[in-house]
Amino acid sequence: MYEGRTVFAQLMDHLPRRTFQRLVVRYDGNSRVKTFTCWDQFLCMVFAQLTYRESLRDIEACLGAVPHKLYHLGFRTRTVARSTLADANERRDWRLYADLAQRLVVEARRLYLDEPIGLEELDASERTVYALDATTVDLCLSLFPWARFRTTKAGIKLHTLLEVRGAIPTFIWITDAKRGDVEVLDVLIPEPGSIYLMDRAYVDFERLHRLNEARATFVTRAKKNLRWRRRYSRPVDRSTGLVCDQTIVLTRKESAEAYPAALRRVKYRDLETGKVLIFVTNDFTLPALTVAHLYRLRWQVELFFKWIKQHLRIKAFFGTSANAVKTQIWIAISTYLLVAIARKRLGIERDLYTILQILSVYAFEKTPLAKALSRSAYTSKDGDIRNQLTLFDL
């Protein structure tokens, strides 16, 4: 029997503690704190994420039922009161956990550097591929009046830049839900040589021109009202689904002034569904079919939003202030990154969803983390269960 540390404490070993302590000092997180430190707050919130707690009362009840095990989980306090946790979420600066998440992003990107993208042309190159999108989290207007979205609704928006290699969220901007998706391009610092995949909500030629001037590549969908003139057409293999590959310039006055350079227009018909898609990009070196296949990778950011909404606690909040909401979101992202880092360091082949399911029931167990996460599931070799009792006499 393994008499070492709990699975939860072993997972926390993958967190850079020195960085955490420096951030606590930077944001004066433990000012006038006697017992419940920022570290205890972080552990409570990560525990809530991993074990699917629904409320502050739920967290208090679960941790209060095993006070003798809190020390083995890494807590410095012997009790966790919901009022204490609520006050910490309301008052302690959310930027502490935002900066911590950014530090985890750096480590996760390093570990997933060799992860394949799925396109041979890019797997062998050093170009970074990002998917940019936003998702709205609905809130109750009476509880979150500061996040008014419509007359009877409240909400916040998560603008996310996801690195396709490893599905790592490298940039997250939390705003009110009224903020337009394209406005994230005003705060995003382009990375030269990288590829940004975006849907039609980000077609703003003045902003796209800034990406082009920064030597970054973008691939997006063309709007129906796009006005353009063809300069040159390249031959394409129509058996692959390609319809045309053209060099174009914009003809509408406002668009041409905002983006005076040439663009590339690729028209593609999906061979399975028959749907026709028109892409616009500033890259003239990639094969036309690669441009079409690249845009498919944008779906990964949609899957990321769906995943975190289903498997992390970012729809039911433990506090009602803006600080509490941002604190919970950033700790949820940190939890996602922490599990991704542990998965790569331990060489676990399972997906993150399965790992989270295991951690939810193994948090208090004293089992080696790698063993708990890699233990193969039992599958009966035959359908006949030998010890099944007879329910009815035939």
Tokens 């983390």, residue located: 369
Please, are residues 331 and 308 in contact by the beta-carbon 8 Å criterion? no
Q: Which residues lie closer than 8 Å to 19 by C-beta, 6 or more apart?
A: 100, 103
Angle between helices 352-362 and 38-50 (to 10 degrees): 110
Token representation of residue 303: 């899957």
Give the separation between CA 274 and CA 365, rounded to whole angstroms.
Answer: 52
Tokens of 116: 């394949």
- SS3 for 45? helix
- 290: nearest Cα among 223, 241, 232, 226: 241
User: What is the structure's pLDDT at 381?
Assistant: 46
Q: What is the pLDDT along the chain (394 residues), one digit of tens a residue?
A: 446 788 999 999 999 999 999 999 999 999 888 889 999 999 999 999 998 888 899 999 988 888 888 888 888 888 889 999 999 999 999 999 999 999 999 999 999 988 888 787 787 677 899 999 999 999 989 999 999 988 888 999 999 999 999 899 999 999 999 999 999 999 999 999 999 999 999 999 999 999 999 999 999 999 999 999 999 999 999 999 999 999 999 999 999 999 999 999 999 999 888 899 999 999 999 999 999 999 999 999 999 998 888 888 887 889 999 999 999 999 999 999 999 999 999 999 888 888 888 898 888 888 899 998 886 654 444 444 444 444 444 4
pLDDT at 376: 60
Q: Does the reported pTM lie above 0.85?
A: yes
Q: Could you tell me how far CA 80 lies from the centroid of its own chain? A: 29
Q: How many CB atoms lie within 10 A of CB 12?
A: 20
Question: Mind giving me the DSSP string for 162-231?
Answer: EETTTTEEEEEEEEETTS-GGGGGGT----TT-EEE--GGG--HHHHHHHHHTT-EEEEEPPTT--EEEE
Q: How far is CA 319 from the centre of its chain?
A: 22
